């Protein structure tokens, strides 16, 4: 039997299961409980989605290089979900699902292959068509400029984000994007999960450009105790210069918003011991405060400056002034809650890194019996985090830029753990909004099963992508139906109809 035939057979056999499941899943909230201007969407990143890595003038990014050196479990984004060719069908699918907004990132090295200089007309054409298509389907584009994918040319030429030259090149790239797309795009994010890019890429070397001290991992080059801070510093400067450019040159006519993005967790003390309570606050200061304090207060947190003394660049008076207040919103990527224990053990000097500065041990909290390969569902973790940001940072506008459940990619279309996850966390977010949090949007990660940081083994998609099919056919999962029903304001079983949901294997 062909694979398609196999699916059709399963479709015939199993619709009842899905119907029963959804019937039992009445919500205690609905779309209409959220503020009128709140947006719900989903998203993806350029390297993870587009494919066409060598087509139409695109040059490699640091993520291409990292993947081609075998560091992403031996796979690459050369083809990924082939969004470069399939975006039209995907936008149709988004529209059918009822998405109000979609979060994309632009591949800098597709638009400006050398990182600076000539703009690639075919790159412009692709993003113009994608953006137009989203808008013509009533879907608001939210655009990220840097999603872990600096042009390799700039990495090779001067060390990329380690070099202050990046500020000028990033701003020039942003200028091109505002000029070309800003008539239709109102929501811009400069750097996606900047803190994880700086630590993952320069302290642990687990994501591109894969730098760390040689003692941390064999074959690694870099300095885990200095580079994350230098990169974080340059990101802040590039971000604030970009925000300022938008203010001066585009805001009056385009009336859009430029924000920043970090990766966060829920963080709770491991015990009632004073050390663990202090350690939890320290982790918050390193994970949230490190790059957010400068935007709100104009300086790094005291504890970060003290622990990374002599290694973290100081924000000069001028830089502090330029950084403070330079954002219109903050994007948060949120997936889980950690329990935090104080850790005073001192590593060897040459093993010093960002995490030894933090000085904590972290544990995934499990509500009891979350199966391996799944993330526990703890909505209070998100409410508490949003409450913290409201109270400590003066309630800035927040977008949840990523939140979603990881499952084995080849599992099942009947992804009930993902439904439970989305239902739980959207509810947790609503609790915070009802208590005054200025959260303005939510983007379920991710729309399709595309490339993840660890390859194609686990995925977060609302839609499954069959990588064995030459056409990379998309299949709707239960989570897509649940989200769609939620967005369309209905849980009614009659709206689910004869649906899909079945085991893939």
Ligand X SMILES: *[C@@H]1O[C@H](CO)[C@@H](O)[C@H](O)[C@H]1NC(C)=O
**Between residue 445 and residue 474, which ones bind ligand X under the rule CB under 6 A?**
456-457, 468
285 and 301 Cβ atoms separated by less than 8 Å? yes
By C-beta, is 223 or 416 nearer to ligand X? 223
Select the span of 283-291, 355-363, 411-419, 431-439 touching ligand X (CB under 6 A).
431-439
CA distance 458 to 419: 16
By C-beta, is 152 or 403 nearer to ligand X? 403
Select the span of 61-69, 368-376, 411-419, 425-433 touching ligand X (CB under 6 A).
425-433
By C-beta, is 98 or 411 nearer to ligand X? 411
Q: How far is the CB of 456 from ligand X (least distance, A)?
A: 6
Contact between 430 and ligand X (CB under 6 A)?
yes
Residue of 193, 204, 227, 452 marked active site = 193
Closest CA to 267 of 196, 330, 360, 174: 360
Token code pair at residue 160? 């990329």
By C-beta, is 244 or 388 nearer to ligand X? 388
- Cβ-in-10-Å burial (0-12, 13-18, 19+) of 288 comes to buried
Contact between 427 and ligand X (CB under 6 A)?
yes
By C-beta, is 140 or 213 nearer to ligand X? 213
Contact between 29 and ligand X (CB under 6 A)?
yes
Among 8, 69, 435, 503, interactor with ligand X by CB under 6 A? 435
Q: How far is the CB of 211 from ligand X (least distance, A)?
A: 11
91: left (phi over 0), alpha (psi -120 to 50) or beta: alpha
Residue of 50, 155, 319, 402 marked active site = 402
Question: At 43, which helix (H) or strand (E)?
Answer: strand 39-43
**Between residue 350 and residue 409, which ones bind ligand X under the rule CB under 6 A?**
350, 387, 391, 409
Question: At 48, which helix (H) or strand (E)?
Answer: helix 46-49
């510093």: which residue's tokens? 233
Q: Give the angle subtended at the CA of 209 by the CAs of 233 and 177, to the nearest 5°.
A: 65
Q: Give the angle subtended at the CA of 104 by the CAs of 101 and 109, to the nearest 5°.
A: 160
Count other C-beta atoms under 10 Å from residue 6's C-beta: 12
Among 249, 431, 490, 493, interactor with ligand X by CB under 6 A? 431
Handedness of CA 320, 325, 326, 329 (dihedral sign): positive
């350690």: which residue's tokens? 279
Contact between 203 and ligand X (CB under 6 A)?
no
Q: How far is the CB of 137 from ligand X (least distance, A)?
A: 29
DSSP state letter for 286: I
Q: 495 catalytic, yes or no? A: no
Q: How far is the CB of 461 from ligand X (least distance, A)?
A: 14
Contact between 223 and ligand X (CB under 6 A)?
yes
138 and 151 Cβ atoms separated by less than 8 Å? no
By C-beta, is 213 or 403 nearer to ligand X? 213
Contact between 484 and ligand X (CB under 6 A)?
no
Q: What is the CA radius of gyration of the chain?
A: 22
91 and 128 Cβ atoms separated by less than 8 Å? no
Q: How far is the CB of 436 from ligand X (least distance, A)?
A: 6
Select the span of 218-226, 286-294, 318-326, 491-499 touching ligand X (CB under 6 A).
218-226
Among 76, 105, 226, 339, interactor with ligand X by CB under 6 A? 226
CA distance 149 to 157: 15
How many chain residues touch ligand X (CB under 6 A)? 19
The verdict on whether omega for the bond into residue 503 sits within 30 degrees of 0, i.e. cis, is no
Q: How far is the CB of 22 from ligand X (least distance, A)?
A: 17
CA distance 278 to 276: 5
Among 5, 24, 26, 28, interactor with ligand X by CB under 6 A? 28
Q: 402 catalytic, yes or no? A: yes
Q: How far is the CB of 241 from ligand X (least distance, A)?
A: 26
Establish how many alpha carbons lie within 13 A of residue 106's alpha carbon, considering only the half-sphere containing its beta carbon.
35
> Which active-site residues does the annotation give?
193, 402
Note the residues at the interface with ligand X (CB under 6 A): 28-29, 213, 223, 225-226, 350, 387, 391, 409-410, 427, 430-431, 435-436, 456-457, 468
């Amino acid at each position: 039997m062909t694979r398609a035939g196999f699916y059709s057979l399963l479709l015939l056999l199993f619709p009842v299961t899905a119907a029963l499941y959804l019937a039992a899943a009445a919500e205690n909230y609905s779309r209409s409980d959220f503020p009128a201007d709140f947006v719900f969407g989903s998203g993806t990143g350029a390297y993870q989605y587009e494919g066409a890595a060598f087509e139409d003038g695109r040059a490699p990014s640091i993520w291409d290089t990292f993947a081609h050196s075998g560091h992403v479990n031996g796979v690459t984004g050369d083809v990924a979900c082939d969004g470069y060719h399939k975006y039209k069908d995907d936008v149709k699918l988004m529209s059918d699902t009822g998405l109000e907004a979609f979060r994309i990132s632009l591949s800098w090295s597709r638009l400006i292959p050398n990182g600076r200089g000539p703009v690639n007309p075919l790159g412009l054409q692709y993003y113009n068509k994608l953006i137009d298509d989203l808008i013509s389907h009533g879907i608001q584009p939210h655009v990220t400029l840097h999603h872990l994918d600096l042009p390799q040319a700039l990495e090779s030429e001067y060390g990329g984000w380690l070099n202050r030259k990046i500020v000028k090149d990033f701003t020039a790239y942003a200028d091109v994007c505002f000029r070309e797309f800003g008539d239709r795009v109102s929501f811009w994010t400069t750097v996606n999960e900047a803190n994880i890019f700086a630590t993952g890429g320069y302290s642990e070397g687990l994501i591109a450009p894969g730098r760390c001290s040689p003692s941390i991992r064999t074959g690694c080059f870099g300095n885990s105790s200095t580079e994350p801070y230098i990169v974080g510093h340059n990101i802040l400067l590039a971000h604030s210069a970009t925000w300022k450019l938008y203010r001066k040159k585009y805001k009056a006519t385009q009336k859009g918003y430029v924000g920043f993005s970090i990766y966060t967790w829920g963080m709770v003390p491991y015990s009632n011991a004073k050390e663990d309570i202090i350690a939890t606050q320290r982790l918050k200061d390193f994970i949230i405060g490190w790059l957010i304090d400068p935007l709100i207060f104009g300086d790094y947190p005291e504890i970060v400056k003290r622990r990374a003394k002599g290694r973290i660049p100081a924000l000069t008076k001028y830089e502090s002034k330029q950084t403070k207040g330079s954002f219109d919103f903050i994007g948060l990527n949120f997936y889980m809650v950690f329990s935090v224990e104080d850790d005073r053990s001192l590593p060897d000097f040459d093993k010093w890194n960002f995490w030894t500065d933090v000085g904590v041990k972290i544990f995934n909290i499990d509500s009891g019996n979350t199966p391996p390969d799944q993330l526990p569902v703890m909505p209070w973790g998100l409410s508490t985090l949003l409450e913290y940001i409201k109270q400590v940072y003066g309630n800035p506008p927040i977008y949840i830029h990523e939140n979603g459940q990881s499952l084995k990619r080849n599992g099942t279309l009947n992804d009930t753990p993902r439904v439970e996850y989305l239902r739980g966390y959207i509810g947790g977010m609503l609790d915070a909004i009802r208590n005054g949090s200025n959260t303005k949007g939510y983007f379920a990660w991710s729309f399709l099963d595309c490339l993840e940081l660890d390859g194609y083994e686990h995925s977060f998609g609302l839609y499954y992508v069959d990588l064995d099919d030459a056409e990379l056919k998309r299949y709707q999962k239960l989570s897509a139906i649940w989200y769609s029903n939620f967005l369309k304001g209905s849980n009614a079983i009659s709206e689910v109809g004869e649906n899909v949901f079945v085991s893939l294997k």
